[in-house]
């Protein structure tokens, strides 16, 4: 404990001090400012090492270490950009991005609704739902399954995002075409996972259902669908990332004058990089929140699975 206090007691205040010095003196200080930031980074890294060496079992340390690393990077980024006066069009400092985010909240919100709620979410629900139902529909035909699984695996590895220009041509510039791209992107990963999940029960378990004289439907609902849930959630989680990528990239091929992909491509054109970064921060937050909420639901649904019992 004493060693822990000694190492953290020196490195943490040192990090805070140097970070504060660096941030306050940053503007135009040249390499001296960068040196201050680097000193702060080194001390911060010592803090993380101290946390890892002495508190790795603690919950707060497990949470604190990645946050500290994020802080290190932000301090280094902010101070370096301001100290060396890096042109704004190459890399805006984090503070400018934060200011931009707070001043353009209505725009960001409108883009979020257009791209995420209308484009990505509707496509995600349609695509995942269709894939799930298809998997159940072909469940009774081993012949179709044997054919569809390799084809599905193959298609899941293809650059489906390339269908975006075609679908934009078919469904117009608005959110419908984005939803279509998302459907095309999430369908096969979801299908493959669900089919694999439905095949997950053991012969013993199916025999037990047989001795109960359970019908196909009963076996499906009471045994095989629950057993498939870890796979289904795996597919849902993979699809959540794909859905956002699909909706954003499809907007590069044509969109109404609102939407995250539209804003990114036009802001890049105007060299308004703070706006681009602001959209990326929003996309990151939405993506993590989407994935995180799926993980929470998964925890509730598949509480019996070994991976959840920890």
Q: Which residues of the chain form contacts with another protein (CB under 8 A)?
A: 45, 48-49, 51-53, 56, 61-62, 65-66, 68-70, 87, 89-91, 143-148, 150-151, 154, 157-159, 161-163, 165-166, 168-170, 240-241, 244-245, 248-249, 252-254, 260-261, 264-265, 268-269, 271, 273, 276-277, 279-280, 283-284, 287-288, 290-292
The smaller minimum CB distance to another protein, of residues 7 and 201, is found at 7
The smaller minimum CB distance to another protein, of residues 104 and 163, is found at 163
The smaller minimum CB distance to another protein, of residues 116 and 209, is found at 116
- Nearest distance from C-beta of residue 254 to another protein, angstroms: 8
**CB of 273 closer than 8 Å to CB of 91:** yes
Q: What's 27's DSSP letter?
A: T
Under 8 Å CB-to-CB from 230, ≥6 apart: which residues?
A: 197, 298, 302, 305, 307
Closest CA to 232 of 184, 183, 185, 199: 199
* Token pair of 255 as six digits: 């969109």
- Nearest distance from C-beta of residue 214 to another protein, angstroms: 28
- Nearest distance from C-beta of residue 52 to another protein, angstroms: 4
SS3 304: coil
Closest CA to 242 of 174, 156, 302: 156
**CB of 275 closer than 8 Å to CB of 267:** yes
The smaller minimum CB distance to another protein, of residues 87 and 129, is found at 87
- Nearest distance from C-beta of residue 283 to another protein, angstroms: 5
The smaller minimum CB distance to another protein, of residues 168 and 227, is found at 168
Under 8 Å CB-to-CB from 105, ≥6 apart: which residues?
A: none
- Nearest distance from C-beta of residue 264 to another protein, angstroms: 6
């Amino acid at each position: 404990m004493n060693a822990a206090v000694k190492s953290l007691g020196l490195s943490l205040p040192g990090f805070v001090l140097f970070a504060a010095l660096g941030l306050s003196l940053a503007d135009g200080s040249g390499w001296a400012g960068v040196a201050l930031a680097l000193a702060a980074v080194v001390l911060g890294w010592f803090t993380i090492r101290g946390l890892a060496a002495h508190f790795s079992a603690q919950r707060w340390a497990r949470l604190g270490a990645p946050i500290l690393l994020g802080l290190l990077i932000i301090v280094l980024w902010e101070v370096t950009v301001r100290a060396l006066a890096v042109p704004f069009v190459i890399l805006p400092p984090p503070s400018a991005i934060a200011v931009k985010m707070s001043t353009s909240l209505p725009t960001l919100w409108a883009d979020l609704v257009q791209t995420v709620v209308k484009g990505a979410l509707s496509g995600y629900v349609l695509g995942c739902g269709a894939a799930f139902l298809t998997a159940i529909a072909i469940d009774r035909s081993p012949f179709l399954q044997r054919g569809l699984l390799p084809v599905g695996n193959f298609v899941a590895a293809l650059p489906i995002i390339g269908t975006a220009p075609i679908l934009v041509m078919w469904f117009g510039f608005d959110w419908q075409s984005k939803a279509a791209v998302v459907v095309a992107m999430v369908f096969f990963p979801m299908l493959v996972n669900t089919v694999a999940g439905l095949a997950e029960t053991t012969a013993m378990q199916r025999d037990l259902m047989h001795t109960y004289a359970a019908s196909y439907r009963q076996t499906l609902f009471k045994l095989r669908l629950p057993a498939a849930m870890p796979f289904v959630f795996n597919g849902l989680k993979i699809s959540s990332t794909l859905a956002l990528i699909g909706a954003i990239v499809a907007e590069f091929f044509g969109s109404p004058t609102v939407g995250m992909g539209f804003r990114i491509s036009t802001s890049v054109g105007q060299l308004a990089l703070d706006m681009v970064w602001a959209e990326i921060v929003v996309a990151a937050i939405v993506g993590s929140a989407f994935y995180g909420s799926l993980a929470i639901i998964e925890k509730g649904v598949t509480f019996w699975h070994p991976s959840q019992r920890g």
